[in-house]
Chain A
Amino acid sequence: MNLGEQHAHDTLRHVTRRHFLSGGLAGVGGLWLAAGSASAKSATIGTDGGATSSNAPHGAGGIDPTRPLAPRTPMLPAKATRVIFLHLAGAPSQFELFEDKPELTRLDGQDCPQEFLAGKRFAFIQGTPKLLGARARFRPAGESGLPMSDNLPHLARMADKLCFVRSMRSDQFNHAPAQLLAQTGDPRLGHAAIGSWVTYGLGSENENLPGFVVLLSGGRFPDAGKSVWGSGFLPGAYQGVQCRSEGDPVLFLRNPPGVDGGLRRRMVDAITRINEQTHRELGDPETVTRIAQYEMAARMQLAATDAMDLGDESRATLDAYGAEPGRELLANNCLLARRLVERGVRFVQLYDWGWDTHGTAEPQSITGGFRRKCREMDRPVAALLADLEERGLLDETLVVWGGEFGRTPMRENRGGQEMPFIGRDHHADAYTVWLAGAGVKQGFSYGETDPIGYRPTTRPTEVRDLQATLLRLMGLDHERLTFPSQGLDRKLTGVKPARVIHELFA
């Protein structure tokens, strides 16, 4: 690059970073008209093979705010094109799922050594709690021999697909801030979810469906509410769109009573023709975009209804997942996630609420309610992996499984007393997540914790490291995927250094 080119490049970069709207407006209408069709793949300058195509959305005019989900070329070669992120809200116990700690079992019932407690704060544990060995049995699974507990009979058969990070740690020990950290990179409200960042960086492959879809199960929102799929300082078009099991699958998808498909078509046609007339009179390119959005909305009514309808799945598939159409189940959501990525949705975020097993009552006990939650999760997640593989989607789809933190190797003693049921408190110092699918090693394990699983002994992995790694798999550089807000070029991974964990890459 000579100096002249460098200057032009820098100017364009500067213009775009500072002037999202004006840069984008340059593309309104004119570019859309040039592209000719709402599903055209290269409607923005950034993906037109221009000087900065490798740098979208930083490239000049990289994002057209009137087509915010237009697909964009990744900055770097991508290993994954779609993500299914399963967040188990409440934080499941790693000790009853994936972490086989014989030493902890040997020490079961003994006082937790003071060295682990000095200067520590827990959500509920007070005084000196007792160590709590696993209330599950472990067996090596698959050829990789990775330990899997008897809570996960189905997932154990998929062990050779999984890529574990056992040395995760968070700096938040309460649900809402920890969920925000895990999803938005910051424990405070107002930051953009990773799904928002990914759709901001890459757009989506199917503009007739939302690019960032959120599916909920477990009967409740995550503790941090919709903020965990909010777009924060990113434009509103990148907020997650919650698809629902009851009522309209996407809000306001259904025509009002009495308006059938034919009449709706007639209405949209009238809107289009009157808007075309308006455009002839005023020449506002935004009007042309609005016409396109109404056409897209009409297509979305069909496409989203179709995508969310499990009626055309075979009995065998429904059984494999344990899905029951019409109910709000994690099983249904796993199957829906497959249907959505199949249709080109960029980021599917699942939240399953109810993993907060303190032992305060039977449903929150790791020998009671927790096992039922495992049964509801084990089969569909295993089925999802198998189904994605069978359909050839696992090569380009990244599946992520994790909670917002882990559970303590100690038994919870709320108020300093022994509780009637067995539970574990929140534990931010060590927890386990796994990845599977596009671009990651199979049957692989990264990072280790000490013999009681209290804290990482090798390769401690911060939340931001995991986020940088996920972005990298999608072909996004977490240092360059930025958005200016309040005087700072914001990143998902924040201001502290984050490390892409290349060791996980296949």
Chain B
Amino acid sequence: FFSEAAGDEPLPLDDPNESLAETPHGWGVFPRIDAPRHAVFVLEEPLSLAADARLKLVIKHERELKGQGAAIIRRGRVSLSTDPRWTTLTTSPEAVARLDRLAELADERRAIPSVRVPVLAERDPRFRRRTFVFEGGNWLAKGGAVGPGTPASLPKRIGLENADSEEQEPTRLDLARWIASSDNPLTSRTMVNRVWAEMFGIGLVETTGDLGVSGAAPSHPELLDHLARRFQGLHAWRLKPLLREIALSATYRQDAAVSAELARRDPGNRLLARGPRQRLSAEMIRDQALVVSGKWSPTMFGKPVMPLQPGGIWRSAYSGAEWQTADGGDRYRRAVYTYWKRTSGYPSLLAFDAPSREVCTARRVATNTPLQALVTLNDPAYVDLARGLGERMGQHAAGDPRGQIAWAYRSAAGREADDPALAELEAVYHAAIEQYASNPGGCGEFAPTADCFARTVVASVLLNLDRVLTR
């Protein structure tokens, strides 16, 4: 009856012509459910009707959608047209040529091997979402419509000098130019400050997430500016030269040792009279333990993995999602690959101040709590890694516990152990041997032999030392 259906979407989810077939697909509201939509249905033959004829139009909505919002037509309107051009919408020579060309191009496109990767692109002006001020943050209370622009409190034309005209709406490219303009010092300062904070534990501007009026003033404004100018110019926004410059500076290479007097006068090391010393981040603590355990899987990319986690952590309402601990190497991937659910983050990372990732966190405040000690002492994941380090110890200096301990200390702390530390660790080793002898069954699969057990216990102590948890 109908020959053709044409929708209003350049890239529709379904071909509108499917509406003419007996399928649940066809013209619909997706992907723009928030705007008026229209479609044109062309008759095979124009219809001639008597003046008093009644026309009955049946619209079927047979697509089932999960969730609460059935995407049915709420307020619809039907118009009829007598314009003969509609009948040749797809049969005129021009239209046929265009459609043939489209089919050709589609075939060519299909011949190009590719993967599905979403790419951000500017929308056609007709399809841009209108943006409104939400009164009091409420998305249902729309205030005035707003267009693209930069904050009024900041200089406007930076980087936009080459824009065609004042009147033309700025685009994402203009925003990028504005952000990266050589006349805009803020971007470079912000980045340099974050790199500095990574290396020194605290930024030249302490509030790394706020270099504005409500942030803190820089401790060394000239240094910040100097580094920022070099980052923009000489280093051409490349991070490696910047990192190299900071890492090789006399300031960074200072000894971290501090006198009681200096610690009192400058507890946060804002005056940079000593080298930086800070606790490892949550991710670093896991990664370091992975590497020294010898179990680390260096595999990169791919889906997130589920390392060891006690049962009962995930009990989502209305969801059957389960934590299924990965087998083999995937259990030992770096922290960055750990499966993350915002409403139930990985507990040992959370304990060491990893943010729950609900909001952007520019700066973590490192706390120092007993729960952290319980993680690195007792978390089965860390016990597992201690066992790995213990096994590696066993492969060195056979039959010489002291030599094995010295090797393990060097692996974990990155320096030689002194005699008092070695003596302490050796004493722990022998205490573990004794305990194993008194109750070998109690160690279970934790350790097959007394030496294995003792090495694991020593390795666990090593993973908990201040020198190991701190850089």
The interface of chain A, by Cβ under 8 A from chain B, is: 18-22, 25-26, 28-30, 65-66, 68-69, 89, 123-124, 175, 189-190, 210, 216, 219-227, 230, 232-233, 235-237, 239, 241, 244, 246-248, 250-260, 262-264, 266-267, 270-271, 273-275, 277-279, 281-287, 289-291, 293-294, 296-297, 299-301, 353, 484, 486-488, 496
**Cβ A290 vs Cβ B259 within 8 A:** no
Is there an interface contact between B421 and A277, defined as CB atoms closer than 8 Å? yes
Closest A residue to B265 by beta carbon equals A26
When chains A and B are docked, how far (Å) is the Cα of A402 from the Cα of B136?
A: 26
Bound CA–CA A220/B365 (angstroms) = 31
28 A-B pairs with C-beta separation under 8 A: A19-B216, A21-B202, A22-B270, A26-B268, A65-B365, A124-B68, A221-B344, A225-B342, A227-B356, A236-B353, A236-B365, A257-B446, A258-B436, A258-B439, A262-B431, A264-B377, A270-B425, A270-B461, A274-B424, A275-B465, A278-B465, A284-B263, A286-B470, A289-B368, A293-B369, A297-B377, A301-B374, A484-B214
**Inter-chain contact A274/B465, CB cutoff 8 Å:** yes
Instruction: Tell which of B23-31, B108-116, B204-212, B225-233 binds the partner.
Output: B204-212
- Binary CB contact string for chain B from 428 to 450 against chain A (1 if under 8 A, 0 otherwise): 10011001100100111111000
Does B91 count as interface, using CB distance less than 8 angstroms? no
Asked if B359 and A220 make an inter-chain contact with CB atoms under 8 angstroms apart, the answer reads no
With A260-B435, A284-B256 given, is the CB distance from A253 to B378 under 8 Å? yes
* Residues of B98-115 whose CB lies within 8 A of A: none
Evaluate whether A236 and B446 lie within 8 angstroms (CB atoms) in the complex, with A189-B359, A227-B343, A274-B465 already known: no
Max count, chain A CB within 10 A of own CB: residue among B264, B365, B461, B469: B365
Contacts of B366 in A (CB 8 A): 65
CB distance from B264 to the nearest CB of A (A): 6
| Interface-centre pick from A19, A210, A279 (highest chain B CB count, 10 A) | A19
Residues of A within 8 A of B317 (CB): 89, 175, 220-223, 353
**CA distance in complex: A247, B315 (Å):** 15
Residues in A neighbouring B470, C-beta threshold 8 A: 284, 286-287
Nearest A residue to B417, CB-CB:
A274
- Answer whether A241 and B353 are a contact pair too, CB < 8 Å, given A20-B365, A278-B467: no
Q: How far is the CB of B456 from chain A (nearest CB, A)?
A: 8
The chain B residue with its CB closest to the CB of A65 is B367
- B464 CB–A CB distance under 8 Å: yes
**Which residues of the partner chain A approach B465 to less than 8 Å between Cβ atoms?**
271, 274-275, 278
Q: Which residues of A contact B368 (CB under 8 A)?
A: 65-66, 286, 289-290, 293
Which residue from B207, B264, B315 sits with its C-beta under 8 Å from A30?
A: B264
The answer to whether A210 and B371 touch across the interface, beta carbons within 8 angstroms, is: yes
Measured CB to CB, the nearest residue on chain A to B418 is A277
Given A225-B342, A256-B446, CB of A18 within 8 Å of CB of B207: yes
Bound state CA distance, A19 and B203, in angstroms?
12
Interface residues of B (CB under 8 A from A): 68, 136, 202, 206-207, 209-210, 212, 214-216, 256-260, 263-264, 267-268, 270, 277, 279, 310-312, 315-318, 341-345, 347-348, 350-354, 356, 358-359, 364-375, 377-380, 383, 418, 420-421, 424-425, 427-428, 431-432, 435-436, 439, 442-447, 453, 457, 460-461, 464-467, 469-470
- Residues of chain B within 8 A (CB-CB) of A89 are 317
